[in-house]
Structure 1
Amino acid sequence: MKIVKTDKKGLEYASKIIRDGGVAIYPTETVYGLGCAPSDPDATKRILQIKERADNPLPLICSSIEVARKIVEFNVTAEKLAEKLWPGPLMLILPKKMDYPIWVTRGKKTLGIRVPGSETARKLAGLSAGVIVSTSANKSGEETPRTAKEAMDQLGEEVDVFVDGGPTRGQLPSTILDLSGSEMWITRSGPISGKMIKEALQG
């Protein structure tokens, strides 16, 4: 495993590892993320093995809302929330638009997607074809890492590259809001509260 900084050279190196089928750890504005190219079945399988998690769909982060619109179907609510709260720590669950790989969706008709508030994460996604898998860099059931050391202590040598951005700004993983049905509901509480979502929709 190689450790790189969040400068241009470091992100270019990390993105090449991702494009070539590797697995990376990188900082977001919430916690450290574990990512790979969603187009690579072997890399996504590695992530599930590293996390020791169940066969769940893998969330994505995009470099921009334009990229996200190509992947999922945005309704009026999603458009308004993305306009007001992206880039930021809000993941939206929406119906998939593209025939996205089953190794990402795990057979589901929806995808979790967001544009992160972290410039580092957005740049890394942008250098990696606009989108990367983004799940927290921890073993399933363990604490989510806010520092490079915490992530390294959990995952050690199981990844190919580590982007060290220092401590993250946030305390919690991103809020997850399901907009795939007739009613919206928060499936995971996080930095974006229900009140903030309501205010964004009313504004």
Structure 2
Amino acid sequence: MIYSISDLHLDYTKEKTMTLFGDRWADYEERIFHNWKETVKDEDLVLVAGDISWAMSLKSAYYDLIRIDEMPGQKVFIKGNHDYWWSSLNKNNSLNLKSIFFLQNNYFEFNDYCIVGTRGWDYLTEDCEEYNIYRRELLRLELSLNSAPKGKKKICMLHYPPFTNEKKPDDFHYILKEHGVTKCVYGHLHGPGLSNVVEGVVDGVEYFCTSSDYLQFKPIKIVETTIAK
């Protein structure tokens, strides 16, 4: 199986809180790990679409990452807007985590599927101050998609939803459509922001919002697949 959950917002120091987004976040870390163990098996894959740890450095993030590493299943990570600890791929990989793959300008292969993606960004036009960031993320998505081998189904991971505030598809969506991506997971939305969730099939791409509070802190099944023998 392929599952997904994003926006774990782990903090081993217990100094951060998510209660500004409502009482639903009470004891959220315990609930995430309990539901993960109840749902995911060792042979499964879990797509974690950003905002993984509140840590500010890779060294500090290790304490949160090792907790995920010890959970069942293989995991693919992309960077979220709060993942300030995320360093270069070489430095991330130097942690030698046994079940975590860091997705950045590359892809991950699982059975008949290729996992691609990038952080994404809020929709911007050329006259906006942060348009260069938006454009760079579009290029990173293209790099990831172009790195994947042909002939496999593609699942995309984004942190930011690929839609405008008016729920219209943005440039990220049209890149996914052009490359024949079949499914896309995204997070980032919490609290009142969940009113902007777009799910279902749009131009042939099936979308899933996987913010942990939206999922009641339980991984959602994206694909039913088994390990090829």
**Which TM-score applies when normalising by structure 1?**
0.27
Identify the structure with the greater helix proportion: 1
- Rg larger in 1 or in 2? 2
